[in-house]
Amino acid sequence: MTITLYTPVPVPYRRADAEKLVGEKLPAQWAEDKDYTLGAFRKETGALVGSYCLTLISRGVWELGYWAVKDQRGRGYSVEAARALCDWGWATLDVHRIEWWAMAGNTGSRAVAEKLGFTVEGTLRNRSIANDGKPHDWWVGGLLRPLQLAVDLDEDLVSRSVLLSLRYRPRTVAPRETKPRAS
Ligand SMILES: CC(C)(COP(=O)(O)OP(=O)(O)OC[C@H]1O[C@@H](n2cnc3c(N)ncnc32)[C@H](O)[C@@H]1OP(=O)(O)O)[C@@H](O)C(=O)NCCC(=O)NCCS
């Protein structure tokens, strides 16, 4: 119930919807640099934990989204997976702000966002219609690019994370030209 109310999944959600999403829509959006949706899985069992995504909203602004499988919730996995995805985003994408949106009252989503360091910036009244057919208030929050990461990014950090290794374009900074001093 919470996933269908709090996220924009089609209702009812049929197997064909899932196959189309995983087989066609998501790969196309990856190819176009518009959306990076990843599954998180338990290391020991391979069980699906949830889905975590970064979606392009406008230049330099990406939205973080997530849902977790009911019996995997409450163990800190969503914070872990979403944090890894954000770290990958800072390292890889042209992004200066990650945004979070949730229906007002979705305290679980807000708890995850706040643990990740998002600042809740406000509530937009009747901002959008959910799957129950009614307009709802929405919370919005933002996380700005951590300056330190841009400077400290190194190969070791990248090779430690599976998520980070999915797609990584090393950023190189051209050495500044130094003019000989006039004596
Ligand atoms: C929101 C959601 C992804 C959280 O997943 P999760 O795996 O349980 O999150 P975590 O285990 O990483 O929890 C992180 C923190 O949030 C807290 N939290 C999780 N659910 C909570 C809830 N319903 N109310 C209050 N706090 C909650 C946890 O207690 C934890 O804090 P703690 O470490 O201090 O105990 C999950 O509840 C979900 O899938 N909800 C339905 C879909 C949805 O709402 N998606 C977001 C749309 S914006």
Q: What is the pLDDT, as a whole number, of residue 1?
A: 55
13 within domain boundaries: yes
174 within domain boundaries: no
pLDDT at 21 over 50: yes
181 within domain boundaries: no
pLDDT tens for 7-20 read 888 788 899 998 99
179 within domain boundaries: no
171 within domain boundaries: no
173 within domain boundaries: no
Q: Which atom of ligand 1 is nearest to the CA of 107?
A: 24
Question: How far apart (Å, rounded) are the C-alpha atoms in residues 59 and 121?
Answer: 20
The CATH number of whichever domain residue 156 belongs to comes to: 3.40.630.30
Show the ligand 1 pocket: residues with CB < 6 angstroms.
Answer: 2-3, 6-7, 66-68, 73-79, 102, 106-109, 111-112, 115
31 within domain boundaries: yes
Lateral strand order in the sheet of 97-103: 35-41, 48-58, 61-68, 97-103, 135-144, 119-129
Residue from 110, 112, 137 whose mutation best tests the ligand 1 pocket (most atoms within 8 A of CB):
112
Distance 109 CA to ligand 1 centre (A): 5
Q: What is the pLDDT, as a whole number, of residue 182?
A: 60
Domain count, the chain: 1
Distance 33 CA to ligand 1 centre (A): 28
pLDDT tens for 150-178 read 445 555 544 444 333 333 333 343 444 55
Per-residue confidence at 36, pLDDT binned at 50, 70, 90? very high
Average pLDDT of span 8-37:
89
Q: Tell me the residue range of the domain where 40 lies.
A: 2-166
Q: What is the pLDDT, as a whole number, of residue 20?
A: 92
Residue 91 CA: distances (Å) to CA of 12, 22, 146, 147, 170:
37, 25, 10, 11, 8
183 within domain boundaries: no
